[in-house]
Amino acid sequence: MNAPFLSPIENPHGLIKKLAYYFTRRQFGKVLTPVKIFSARLPSAFGLFYGKISSLDKKLTLSPEMVLLIRHQVARINVCEFCMDIARAFTIQASMNEAKFDALDVYDTSPLFTQAERAALDYVTALTRDKKVDPEVFAGMARHYSEREICEIVWVVASEHVYNITNIGMNIHSDMLCKIRPKTASSDSANERASHAAA
């Protein structure tokens, strides 16, 4: 069954939620399903928490492409269709290398990826799939990234799980954003995740 477990709320109560609907509609051409299903039913502080994740993402030193590669890989493993779709939409908007994202399932052998990216994705894949990481895998990543960057990678994985579980738990699937959004947004869009599931 592809329908969400709860019905969308088309007309939310409260100014903050109404503003969230307005801004997501303006940015994406529609109000995102997680906003109508999940955030609309919770106090606004919960939606603002998702906005805080987005704000913190903007303080990362990792490249926007690396952040999206990590998020997309986590979403792929968790099979969050909404998250995979919105990550691809941001990829398109930022004019990133879409072929690289298409090759994530073979990142370990694809020439599109650097050794550093492969090491990070090895870590991300193990952490997401197994919920633990072998010391050798961590050491392989640590050879390429600073201690701060390692912590940022963990942050991206952890915060992506918040998005994924929200959507999976509500049976929310793709909003087909790739077909809605043109290639016109700035690179800042890569980290604009507040509307992903925010109010």
31-60 residue pLDDT tens: 999 999 999 999 999 988 988 998 999 999
Task: Please name the residues in contact with 66: beta carbons below 8 A apart, sequence gap of 6 or more.
Answer: 117, 120
**pLDDT band at residue 180, thresholds of 50, 70 and 90?**
low
Tell me: the pLDDT tens digits for 95-141?
Answer: 999 999 999 999 999 999 999 999 999 999 999 999 999 999 999 99
CATH of domain 61-185: 1.20.1290.10
Q: What is the pLDDT of residue 85?
A: 95
Which strand (E) or helix (H) includes residue 131?
none
Query: pTM value?
Result: 0.88
Structure tokens, 69:
């590669």
Question: Cβ neighbours of residue 169 under 8 Å, at least 6 residues apart?
Answer: none
